[in-house]
Structure 1
């Protein structure tokens, strides 16, 4: 994945990889939604979605979160947060191909 600038790349590649954020993480990327966010330090995996890079100001991609839910619903998965998902929906694979 190529991000918008070197600062974004730095903060994303030097942070947590498992979406359980550490106290040092300030920004995150959710590949399954193609969505960027500022980490909320609540001992969980919450973040506030952002539309522009805080370092270079570039417009970030439109979130695919609604498409993700729509596609899973089309496949008969009614509650994706509680049901087992096809592996490709746990990454960017579902929208990249």
Structure 2
């Protein structure tokens, strides 16, 4: 077990490369905005299949915050945060929004 991840294999495949969708050695994507993990689909795009458990140990991963992210931005007046991404507050483009909610 590592400090941040449930096993060495999971850590290796999450942190293998800065360019998640081009490096075929990287299998797991972590979207820090939602604290969501997924298996990357290596088709040249930026798609991934969301996973809820570590593929190697079966340990439960953190609950995705995607719905909460959309709810928070809807309260701020954004109807479609994905298409309005450039206009959303900077803290919502990273995990900062979650940290500010847990103070």
Please report the TM-score for the alignment, with normalisation by the length of structure 1.
0.87
SS in 2 for 1:29: strand
SS in 2 for 1:42: coil
| Distance apart, 1:56 and its partner CA | 1.7
Residues 28 and 38, structure 1, Cα contact 8 Å, conserved in 2: yes
Which residue does the alignment assign to 2:97?
94
Q: How does 1:1-97 map to 2 (within 5 A)?
A: 2-15=4-17, 17-83=18-84, 84=86, 85-97=88-100
Divergent runs of 4+, >3 A: 18-21
| Distance apart, 1:23 and its partner CA | 2.4
Evaluate the alpha carbon distance shift between residue 95 and residue 18 of structure 1 in structure 2; reply closer, same or farther with a 3 A threshold.
farther
Cα distance in structure 2, aligned partners of 1:61 and 1:70: 18
| Distance apart, 1:51 and its partner CA | 0.7
SS in 1 for 2:30: strand
1 or 2 for the larger relative contact order (CA 8 Å, sep ≥6)? 1
| Larger Rg, first or second structure (1 or 2) | 2
Which runs of no fewer than 5 residues in structure 2 stay unpaired?
A: none
How many corresponding residue pairs? Answer: 96
Cα distance in structure 2, aligned partners of 1:30 and 1:79: 18
User: Superposition RMSD on alpha carbons, in Å?
Assistant: 1.7
| Distance apart, 1:19 and its partner CA | 4.6
Residues 38 and 49, structure 1, Cα contact 8 Å, conserved in 2: yes
Cα distance in structure 1, aligned partners of 2:98 and 2:22: 25
